[in-house]
Every structure is written in structure tokens, then in C-alpha cells.
Amino acid sequence: MHGKKETKMLENLGWMNSWKQDGKEYKLIKECREKGHSSLDTGDNYRCVSTSTCEECGYTYKIDSSG
């Protein structure tokens, strides 16, 4: 620990569309919401694609809503 505030490495969970229904990713997000975090949605890099990130939990994932 250096006591320096640095950007945490975010775990890339990949595409939400490819997660299993009982996957750890859904659990992570559920816990995140229960903790009241506000995940950051940075959408529309591409058509129908948005990115959701919570720095407190240290994850990031993409959602393809084109389907």
C-alpha cells in the first residue's frame, strides 16, 4: 500500500448478453445495487452499445441492446 489514490484496475466482465443466468456477474451487480452505488453508464460509443462501470466495486461491462 502506497497510500496514493490511483485508479483501480477494473475487472472487465465482458458482455452482459453472454453471462449465464446464475453467473457471478449478476450477483456482483445485484450486490452493487444493494449497496446503493451509482454505476456509471457511458453509452453510445457505438450503436446500441452501452458501458456500465462501478469504480467502487471495480467492474465494467458492456451491454448490447441491438438484439
**Chain positions contacting Zn ion, by CB under 5 A:** 32, 37, 54, 56-57
Query: Nearest-5° angle of CA 43, CA 65, CA 30?
Result: 75
Q: Are 37 and 54 in contact (CB under 8 A)?
A: yes
Closer to Zn ion by CB, 6 or 66: give it: 6
Residue 51 CB, nearest distance to Zn ion (Å)?
15
Between 40 and 48, name the residue whose CB sits nearer to Zn ion: 40
Distance in Å, CB of 31 to Zn ion, minimum: 8
Residues 46, 9, 14, 31: is their CA dihedral positive or negative? negative
